Amino acid sequence: MSRVAPNPDNLVTVDLQAVADNLAALRALLPMGMGVAGVVKADAYGHGMVPVARRLKAEGAEALAVAQVNEGALLRRAGIEGPILVLMGLTPEQTPLAAAHDLSPFLAVWEDFAALSQAAQAGGAQTACHLKIDTGMSRLGASPGEALELLERVAALPGLKIEGLASHLATSGVPGDPTAQKQAEVFSSLLAEARRRGHALPASSLEASGGILARPKNASEPPGLARLGISLYGGLPAMESRGVAPLRTAMRFISRLAAVRLVPAGAGVSYGHLWRAPQDTWLGVVAAGYSDGYPRSASNRGQVLIAGKPAPIRGRVCMNAVMVDLTGFDPLPAPGDEVVLLGRSGAEEITADQLGGWADTISYEITCSLGAANRRRHRS
């Protein structure tokens, strides 16, 4: 959704201190000896991949994780050192790039390990990788039944260091969830057996934010890393894990009032007249819409904050505008006044989870969209 000329009225600010504080709060939940891989894929969920990665490394994150090889290469070019996990693995054409930049892809297929082994030998260095196992997500990974045999075969390949087993939970973030529990048990027993056979697999990983905020019980074999994404940015993987850690929303999105106007009782507002003024009503026209990454599905449901006070959205969210109800505002806001669509204003706050809730989506999608569409500034 990147634009030729982002609206100068609109600004995303990213509070890197909030990311650092969230990392510290999440560390307190980790079992002894477990490190953090900070997940910075998708431009750090819209927060800016390089600045967030730098801050996470400065705060002691043991590793970083991206989705694509290209993202990892970009981090290396920015001078970032240490392990970088590539969660989506790689295509055969990407193996030289992965080896050249010392990236650690998650792989699940013999041919991909063999190709990486070749690229590593050609480059004359050892390349790290992880064996991904599908314990129930049905996305990527070797089946649990074939995982150990595959591990023995790929461990014998020259040029490769298999640093961990990896898997991903499909239903995490809900305490006591039986599906996550089952996945954790499968993973734990595979990891225990692999270690019994002499594979150290120190950087193994299972849990993302949801798995850490609501840890499956009796998953006895401790993995070495938690892969934390949304929680570092202050969002929740599921509402059930609200309050488990004192997380702060790192992103703030502001716009301006383009106009303030009085519409008469009975006037229909915005496309389709989804809302009609029950009485003469002061409306503010906010200079941001769905082309700025603000979700159209928040039409007639969401709110914004003006001078620390909530103003409900009236009617449909447009491409470049949102109408909000200024009833009860005294003094009446004026054109040019700041509007907070995400984040804090005075004593009030709109979190990415709240906005996601109004829009029938998740905080992840909110921050990705807003971050991609707007000018962005970082505060350290």
Report the 10 Å Cβ neighbour count for 220. Answer: 11
23-82 residues in contact with ligand PLP (CB under 6 A) are 39, 41
- Catalytic residue, from 41, 45, 233, 364: name it: 41
Report the 10 Å Cβ neighbour count for 20. Answer: 19
Q: Does 229 bind ligand PLP (CB under 6 A)?
A: yes
- In angstroms, what is the minimal distance from the CB of 313 to ligand PLP? 27
Asked if 287 contacts 258 with a C-beta cutoff of 8 angstroms, the reply is yes
Residue from the set 16, 44, 87, 298 that interacts with ligand PLP by CB under 6 A: 87
Report the 10 Å Cβ neighbour count for 232. Answer: 30
Taking the C-alpha atoms of residue 126 and residue 21, their distance in angstroms, rounded to an integer, is: 35
* Residue 349, CA distances (Å) to 121, 144, 185, 338 in order: 53, 44, 39, 14
Q: Does 370 bind ligand PLP (CB under 6 A)?
A: no
For the question of residue 294 being annotated catalytic, the response is: no
| Of 191, 193, 183, the residue nearest 224 (C-alpha) | 191
Q: Does 371 bind ligand PLP (CB under 6 A)?
A: no
What 3-state class would DSSP assign to 258? strand
166-185 residues in contact with ligand PLP (CB under 6 A) are 168
* Piece of 54-62, 208-216, 264-272, 366-374 that binds ligand PLP (CB under 6 A): 208-216
Taking the C-alpha atoms of residue 251 and residue 228, their distance in angstroms, rounded to an integer, is: 17
- In angstroms, what is the minimal distance from the CB of 141 to ligand PLP? 10
- In angstroms, what is the minimal distance from the CB of 139 to ligand PLP? 8
Q: Does 230 bind ligand PLP (CB under 6 A)?
A: yes
For the question of residue 309 being annotated catalytic, the response is: no
- In angstroms, what is the minimal distance from the CB of 37 to ligand PLP? 8
* Piece of 56-64, 107-115, 224-232, 253-261 that binds ligand PLP (CB under 6 A): 224-232
Taking the C-alpha atoms of residue 271 and residue 248, their distance in angstroms, rounded to an integer, is: 35
Q: Does 227 bind ligand PLP (CB under 6 A)?
A: yes
Taking the C-alpha atoms of residue 235 and residue 368, their distance in angstroms, rounded to an integer, is: 12
For ligand PLP, give the closer residue by CB, 166 or 306: 166
Residue from the set 10, 209, 281, 300 that interacts with ligand PLP by CB under 6 A: 209
- In angstroms, what is the minimal distance from the CB of 324 to ligand PLP? 30
Give 276: exposed, middle or buried? Use CB within 10 Å, 0-12, 13-18, 19+.
middle
Give 124: exposed, middle or buried? Use CB within 10 Å, 0-12, 13-18, 19+.
exposed
* 178 phi, psi to nearest 5 deg: -70, -30
Q: Does 299 bind ligand PLP (CB under 6 A)?
A: no
* Piece of 17-25, 225-233, 255-263, 314-322 that binds ligand PLP (CB under 6 A): 225-233
> Cis omega before residue 331 (within 30°)?
yes
237-276 residues in contact with ligand PLP (CB under 6 A) are 237
- Catalytic residue, from 132, 271, 290, 294: name it: 271
Site size toward ligand PLP (CB under 6 A) is 13
* Piece of 70-78, 120-128, 227-235, 354-362 that binds ligand PLP (CB under 6 A): 227-235
Taking the C-alpha atoms of residue 10 and residue 221, their distance in angstroms, rounded to an integer, is: 48
Taking the C-alpha atoms of residue 218 and residue 188, their distance in angstroms, rounded to an integer, is: 9
Q: Which stretches of the chain bind ligand PLP, using CB under 6 A?
A: 39, 41, 87, 168, 208-210, 227-231, 237
Q: Which residues are catalytic?
A: 41, 271
